[in-house]
Amino acid sequence: MNYAVIYNVLGELLTFLALLMLIPLFVAFYYGDSPVPFAAAVVITGTLGLVLSRKYSAQGEWKIKEGFAIVALGWLSVAVFGSIPYVLDGISPVNALFESMSGFTTTGATIMQDIESHSRSILFWRCMTQWLGGMGIIMIFIAILPKLGVAGRQLFRAEAPGPTEDKLKPRIRGTARILWTVYVFISVVQAVALRLAGMSYYDAITHTFTTMSTGGFSPYGPGIAGFNDPLIEGIIVVFMFIAGANFALHYRVLYVDRNSFIKDEEFKFYTVIILLATLVLTFSLWKDMGQTVETAFRYAVFQVVSITTTTGYASADFDIWSDSARIVLLAVMFIGGSAGSTAGGVKAVRILLLLKYGKNVLFKALHPKAIKPVKYNSKAVPEEIMQSIVSFVVIYMMIFAISTGILALMGMDLISSITASIATLGNIGPGFNAVGPMANFDVVPFLGKLLLIANMWIGRLEVFTVIVMLTPEFWKD
């Protein structure tokens, strides 16, 4: 293990984070907030970053181990140092780390009880962390740091969301730049749309940050429900749906083939899931809750898209809905958006390939000598990819079950334990009962918060990147 490389890149990453913190510092000056939280954070983070990057050299061989370590420790470091403004704003260290990790991993679970009591600059930073984490803090690092070169591929492989690496250019740096360019472009379009819909510049920017990242934070306690505006909800639904789809696919539609959406199996599967869940939830709200069809559809489409894409916005308190309605939302919590999107969860492509794999197993039971590979977009899926997907789902469900059991042993009710676990592991945000959309995670015991922080970290990095570091073989030369 080349520790010097790891320390050097982590130092560069912290220096970059310190520069990004200048943005909310300027926001603090603009709104007359105290600049101390961000000024101090810039100095502390920047100083340590410069010390590490100057003291240690990035020369030497990069292996996959260094890539995993840098990505896993990089995300953890960013969350830790990103929590400094919260601590200096009066939030306890563990709660500050929870909020910071929730931000950068685009989870959207919060411990803030009175959100609007915090300064605008703190709330701006809270939303900005989600936007940075959406496409990936390491991804933007790869895009702007020339010296990473070929080594950037190791980082890309360790961070890229999904079972396969989706390259758009021969060089990973080129792919990272393209993905971030598309991300910024769509973000600007949404911000303009929200401003034209009546939001202030501040609200349009902060909600764009947390929509495109499928994060779900809002500078207001009621969130999107507080606006009670069908037009704003409609715009956000559209951009949540876009953000939950593969950004490489968006690029291909814009610059390569306009028919890429209808050719892509995952996108079609992702769309069908949302349509079916919306119809079922609309029916449930109309039949069980007595809502009109129009109102039921308005709430259903918003909440299904929000939960499926793991954004976590709430246009209504879905925790008081009927059991049948909540079951629909619980089901889509386990699916998530597309690979290569800003969404969390298992990912639609994994669910799709598992269904195809199961179908093949049944076929081979009837035709033992038949050779029939699993196909995706008309191409055979390598067996190692299928093994990776099966392993991912097994480990994912094990982590979910273990964290649910631990929370229940800490005294939380079963529904709260189940949904708190999947909401953090899947980077969704709100759950049901004690951690519902109109509640917050501050009710979780101290050790439970540490567990959920780990869940958010593990879930955002697609499980393996973190779990592999726990194996003895990882640390052997």
Average of pLDDT values for 232-251? 94
Residue 61 has a pLDDT of 65
Compute the distance between CA of residue 274 and CA of residue 370 in angstroms, rounded to an integer.
35
Share of the chain above pLDDT 70, in %: 91
Residue 367 has a pLDDT of 84
Which amino acid is residue 192, in one-letter code? V
Q: What is the pLDDT of residues 278-288, one digit of tens each?
A: 999 999 999 99
In this predicted structure, the answer to whether residue 235 has a pLDDT above a threshold of 90 is yes
pLDDT greater at residue 198 or residue 363: 198
Residue 323 has a pLDDT of 95
Residue 477 has a pLDDT of 67
Residue 170 has a pLDDT of 47
Q: What is the pLDDT of residues 142-183, one digit of tens each?
A: 655 545 444 444 455 555 555 555 555 546 667 778 888 899
Q: Is the dihedral of CA 211, 217, 218, 221 positive or negative?
A: positive
In this predicted structure, the answer to whether residue 201 has a pLDDT above a threshold of 60 is yes
Residue 464 has a pLDDT of 85
In this predicted structure, the answer to whether residue 137 has a pLDDT above a threshold of 80 is no
Phi and psi, residue 289, nearest 5°: -105, -5
Among 370-374, 428-432, 457-461, the minimum mean pLDDT is found in: 370-374
Nearest to 141 by CA among 126, 162, 155: 155
Residue 171 has a pLDDT of 60
pLDDT tier at 388, thresholds 50, 70, 90: confident
Buried b (16+ CB within 10 A) or exposed e, 362-401: eeeeeeeeeeeebebeeeebeeeebeebeebbeebeebbe
Residue 142 has a pLDDT of 61
| Tokens describing residue 360 | 């093949």
Average of pLDDT values for 224-243? 96
Average of pLDDT values for 393-401? 95
CB 225 within 8 A of CB 315: yes
Residue 366 has a pLDDT of 83
Residue 417 has a pLDDT of 97
Mean pLDDT of the chain, nearest integer: 90
Task: Give the number of other CB atoms < 10 A from CB of residue 22.
Answer: 13
Compute the distance between CA of residue 289 and CA of residue 284 in angstroms, rounded to an integer.
7
Share of the chain above pLDDT 90, in %: 68
Q: What is the pLDDT of residues 290-329, one digit of tens each?
A: 999 999 999 999 999 999 999 999 999 999 999 999 999 9
Residue 149 has a pLDDT of 45
Residue ranges per structural domain of the chain: 382-475
Q: What is the pLDDT of residues 15-48, one digit of tens each?
A: 999 999 999 999 999 999 999 999 999 999 999 9
Residue 278 has a pLDDT of 98
Residue 234 has a pLDDT of 97
Compute the distance between CA of residue 127 and CA of residue 406 in angstroms, rounded to an integer.
30
Compute the distance between CA of residue 214 and CA of residue 247 in angstroms, rounded to an integer.
13
Residue 130 has a pLDDT of 96
Average of pLDDT values for 120-128? 98
**Crossing angle of helices 137-144/64-82, nearest 10°?**
110
Compute the distance between CA of residue 138 and CA of residue 76 in angstroms, rounded to an integer.
12
Among 10-14, 146-150, 343-347, the minimum mean pLDDT is found in: 146-150
